[in-house]
Amino acid sequence: MTDPSASSVRPATVADAPAIAALFTDEGYPAGPSDIEERLTHFDSPRSRVMIAEHEGATLGFIAVHAMPRFEHDDSTLQIIAHVVDAVARERGLGRTMLAEAQRTAGEVAAAFRHRAAGRLTRVTRTPTRPTCSASTVDPHS
C-alpha cells in the first residue's frame, strides 16, 4: 500500500475478529478472535464504533471509539479506545485517515473529539454547533 486514499474505512464486523486479534497481538496485547468477538459486542451501540481500515481486501488497521458524557459540562467527548495500524502500513497516512473518520463520527454523535497520543492530550475540537475549543499539549506525568 502506498496511497492512503486508496484504502477504505468501514465498520468492523464479527468476521474481522481474527484480523483485529492479530493486529492487537502484534502490538503486545494478546487476544484471540473469540476475545475480540466479545469486545465487538461492547461497541455495538449508537455511541460506540469499531472501524476497519483496509486496502485491496487486507486489513491494515482499526480504531475503536466511544462517546462518553462529561460531568463538568453538558456534552460528550468521543474517546479513542484503541487505534492500531499494521507495521507494514505505517508512515503512509492510514492512521490519520482513521482519525479523520473518528472525527467525522464525533460530528454524527454530537460529541467533542479528543485525540490522545502517548498519554498526552493533543487535540480537542467541538462539533460545529458548539464553539471551538482547543487545548495545548498536556503531559499528565509532569
- Read off the pLDDT of residues 60-83 as tens digits, 9 standing for 90 and up: 999 999 988 888 888 888 889 999
Rounded CA-CA distance 58/104 in Å is: 23
Other residues' Cβ atoms within 10 Å of the Cβ of residue 118: 6
What is the per-residue pLDDT for 38?
Answer: 95
Q: Report pLDDT for 49.
A: 92
| pLDDT reported for residue 110 | 80
Contacts of residue 94, Cβ cutoff 8 Å, sequence gap at least 6: 1, 4, 7, 53, 60, 61, 85
Residues of the chain with pLDDT under 50: 1-2, 118-142
CB-neighbour burial class of residue 110 (10 A; exposed 0-12, middle 13-18, buried 19+): middle
pTM for this one?
0.74
